[in-house]
Amino acid sequence: MTTAAVIVAAGRGSRAGGALPKQWRRLGGRMVAEHTLAAFRASPLIGPIVLVIHPDDRKIAAPLAGGEVTLVEGGATRDASVRAGLEALATAAPRHVLIHDVARPLVSAALIARVCEALQAGAQAAAPGLALTDALWRGAGGAVAGVVPREGLYRAQTPQGFAYRAILAAHRAHPGGAADDVEVARAAAIPVAIVEGEAQNFKITTPGDFVRAEQHLGGHMDIRVGNGFDVHRFTEGDHVTLCGVKLAHGRALKGHSDADVGMHALSDAIYGALAEGDIGRHFPPSDARWKGAASRIFLEHAVALAEDRGYALGNADVTLICEEPKIGPHAGEMAATLARIAGVEAGRISVKATTSERLGFAGRKEGIAAIATATLVRP
């Protein structure tokens, strides 16, 4: 009989900061949700997996679906989202189900196995916990008001495992507002066995937790750095396209594609980090297909090639070298555009400009140059 998994990823995680909900932020080169899914996909004990998402996150979560993973939209509360995930398994009707918080991406194969083994041994429910070792105080008015005995107290973790039909019935009967699924099970008089938890299986809640998680993953990271440089001369025209942004100008840049010198330099930096040459290797200028092509095609290809090899774009820095047009007023939009095309947070891309002090071709206003540096990270 199969054991399914429901991974709850519908929350907003505002305490963790960042432009994206924490489950979609990068950790060790991959999204938090990818780490969590990978742990369950790798377990031979787990069959179908339901990833419960917020309706607004379907686009970013879509690449994670397929195979054993199904996306389901959750509800306004955690227990509503869990119930949605459980209901989605009704056709499969697994014998057991593990319910896990997506924000615990360091869950180990051994912990998943311990919960599964407890269920297979006859437990109706099993959940990992860590016995408290620190002294506990009760506070009032900023002062210690008493000491709470710590004997018999545990820090609850996930994945929490259950007999599928029993926990589905318990959720259907529960009024809502439960802190976790053990609370729902106990309300339905389902006994819950405790299995040993793991200190590294902490829940990412604050910005500092990302730092802790990176430290756990750091010993396995592969980091690559690449540089890119490109130059295009001016020709007749009324605009230039730089880092994906169209700027009105008295002249245009000459090139086989749209001559976006900034995006070309960044694409070459990524290719360089992968030891994959430059744009010309992948999109030869002798090929008429690329005449006048939008340079985002090159950047998207470079990023996809990196992702196919397990790398994520950690950060990139692009410097435009020109006397005109003025870049400063548009640098933020350029950085945001590059980030959107590359599929990363805006804070991971920098765009800035400098002049050559009127020296050389750029100083004579004959064209624009760009230099870029990109960092690729693979956990």
- Does residue 245 sit in the same domain as residue 137? no
- Does residue 315 sit in the same domain as residue 370? yes
pTM check: above 0.75: no
**Angle separating helix axes 331-342 and 296-308, nearest 10 degrees:** 50
Q: What is the tens place of the pLDDT at every residue in 284-317? A: 988 888 888 899 999 999 999 998 888 889 999 9
pLDDT of residue 330: 95
pLDDT band at 238 (very low <50, low <70, confident <90, very high): very high
Domain final position from 201, 219, 237: 219
Whether pLDDT at 219 is above 60: no
Which token pair is 144?
Answer: 């210690």
Domain that holds residue 275: 222-378
Domain final position from 219, 240, 265: 219
Q: What is the CATH number of the domain that holds 263?
A: 3.30.1330.50
Q: What is the CATH number of the domain that holds 56?
A: 3.90.550.10
pLDDT band at 221 (very low <50, low <70, confident <90, very high): low
Structural domains in the chain (count): 2
Exposure string for 26-60, b = 16+ CB within 10 A, e = fewer: bbbbbbbbbbbbebbeebebbbbbbbbbbeebeeb
Domain final position from 163, 190, 219: 219
pLDDT of residue 216: 83
What is the residue-wise DSSP string for 11-77? ---GGG-SSS-GGGSEETTEEHHHHHHHHHHT-TT---EEEEE-GGGHHHHGGG-BTTEEEEE--SS
- Does residue 126 sit in the same domain as residue 239? no
